[in-house]
Amino acid sequence: MNDFNIPESLLDENLPYSIQRMSLEEKGRLARDIRKTIIQVVAKNGGHLAPSLGVVELTLALLSVFNPSRDHIIWDVGHQCYAWKLLTKRAKDFKTLRQMNGLAGFPKISESPEFDHFGVGHASTSISAALGMAMARDLNGTSEDVVAVIGDGALTGGMAYEALNQAGGLKKRMIVILNDNEMSISKNVGALSQFLSRNLAHKGFLNFKEATGQFLKRIPKIGDALYDIADRGEKSFKTFFTPGMIFEGLGFNYIGPIEGHNLEVLIRHLQIAKAAEKPILLHIRTIKGLGYPPAENNPSRFHRVPGFEPETGLVPSPKINAEQGPGFTKIFGASLCRLAGEDKKIVAICAAMPDGAGLGEFRSRFPDRFIDAGICEEHAVTFAGGMATRGFKPVVAIYSTFLQRAYDQLIHDICLQKLPVVFCLDRAGIVGEDGPSHHGAFDLTYLRSIPNMHVMAPRDEEDLPNCLYTALQMNAPVAIRYPAMPTHAKIAPQEDFRLLEVGRGEMLISAPQKDVCVIAAGHRVHPCKDAISVLRQENISLFDARWVSPVPKEQLKELAQTYKGLIFVEENCRAGGFSSACLEFLSDEDLLAKVKILRIGLPEAKFVEHGPAEDLRKAAGLDWESLAKRFAEFTEAITA
């Protein structure tokens, strides 16, 4: 045993290959050990608990039927992969899950090239990737199986249907497993459906159906007509008794729904699917959070959790210092509700994360003006554009990393037409343990280059309401980016909203001696302020730009002409970000010749990995201590 009490059964060096030789009883005991370990580690490290608990039997069944190093198993979204990691030679390191330099919280090729065949983190990608692998297999003349596991709302994404449509058309041998945990597909229609769908998709029946079809077609004069009648009859029969007709219509042979926690049933149906020479969709029903009552009773709450008490399921309240702000997400939601109470044209739109995006109260108070588009970011953006053309004021609240998926819609459907849609980008910058697929590291880069798009980065929770109010008064596309974290700044109660001047920032510290000015954007303003305060120097000023597009042009010109050195600070990729925008402007104005420049931001040559957010900021030189050191060194160099 180790200090996390990982059972010896999971440390067996013969895993995962020994699973095929185990009895059902042995696999059942292994399932219990897996659940115990996942609960134990996630309670300590945080993570996606309920999704992974719901697929323990499915994972064991997959490893009972397929060769995990030869066959390709692709997990959509990837937040249900913990059992997979435990069983594919990573159990001894599982205690490092989501920790810096430890195991990632999602499948990752570089972490396990043998078993993680495709890296994920965003939804609805598995079927496309699986089809690509199946196509490559056939071109290479090999025979491995390809399986995509999708569910937990990922089937609402349009990309999944695009892939299903092509896969059915190409008739490539592949398996799609729909893990239905009541997050997307309708409920099980009963034992009769299971019986009919299972037998209608059995290899023997499929062969019989094909042979019968060929026979009917050979009957002179009436063969084609008889075949059409028989084909329509079978489809009508299956449509009446099963929910799978949509998949049959897309060219898949549908099996299901079946019990997703019955190992014997799962294994039998996976063997049927494996033997088929056609695209198969296996629909299984699972319980999200199974095996841990708090997660079963509240799967949404335990979808992704910080550390918690495993005995009770209680999540300790965060220890908030009196000087901390309440967090951007909370203030955004409260501010939007206040504004919507006064303006009936304001509507709120999100993509499957109303609570995470701060829209829980809005949904309760204004249900007719709240739209959850599901995991369909592209649709959500264009939908908002449609509402904007009819005089409404759409506010689209989406995490920074997920808005990337709708880049074409931002350009073509919103900015090209100058439609007044407000985008509120939560989780901007470093997000921590979810890692590179979730960091909001690129929004300033991909937004500020689009014509007609205005971009704001409020410094704290006091600044955010005014940014939101200003954005709603502008007849133009506007994006506001902010983190979920508090700013550690004491925020005064605000009675009224203040209209901000477009493209104008604010001097927060004006030093008597004009040597260096720190120009910061967004929530890094306060760490910069802390760093300058600690240095106690009289020659470092601090300017909050607030606007990234357009940058504060007249003020930047004055700063470049007044100070010996300028330090730009942002929590965004430096390539094409805030500092790039400022330097482009200063270069065009021929103002860079006499002023020294230091740019501090996220590295442009690599992705930021996973780990505690503050540890990652420290590694990137964005915490106040690192900033203080860089400020002091830069100031000393230009004043020497």
Helix (H) or strand (E) holding 455: strand 454-456
pLDDT digits (tens, 9 = 90+) for 478-525: 999 999 888 866 666 677 899 999 999 999 999 999 999 999 999 999
Find all residues with CB under 8 Å of 323, minimum gap 6, and list them. Answer: 488, 489, 490
DSSP 8-state code for residue 314: P
pLDDT > 90? residue 210: no
Task: Give the residue-averaged pLDDT of 212-222.
Answer: 62
Q: How many CB atoms lie within 10 A of CB 583?
A: 18
* Active-site residue, from 90, 108, 405, 574: 405
pLDDT of residue 318: 59
Is 288 noted as a catalytic residue in this protein?
A: yes
Region 262-271 average pLDDT: 96
**Catalytic residue at 377?**
yes
Dihedral angle over CA of 572, 451, 123, 47, nearest 10: 20
Sheet of 280-285: strand order equals 72-75, 146-151, 175-180, 280-285, 253-259
Asked if residue 543 lies in contact with residue 505, where contact means CB atoms within 8 angstroms, the answer is: yes
Number of Cβ within 10 Å of residue 312's Cβ equals 8
- pLDDT value for 490: 66
Q: Where is average pLDDT lowest: 69-73, 311-315, 562-566?
A: 311-315
Residue 146 has pLDDT above 80, yes or no: yes
Q: Residue 158: which pLDDT band, with cuts at 50, 70 and 90?
A: confident
70 belongs to the catalytic site? no
Asked if the model's pLDDT at residue 225 lies above 70, the reply is no
Q: What is the pLDDT of residue 272?
A: 94
pLDDT mean across residues, the chain: 90
322, pLDDT greater than 90: no
Q: How far apart are CA 606 and CA 616, in angstroms?
A: 13
**If pLDDT is split at 50, 70 and 90, which confidence band does 528 have?**
very high
Of 377, 433, 461, 571, catalytic: 377
Residues, the chain: 640
- Token digits of residue 351: 């993509």
Options 95, 172, 288, 304, the catalytic residue: 288
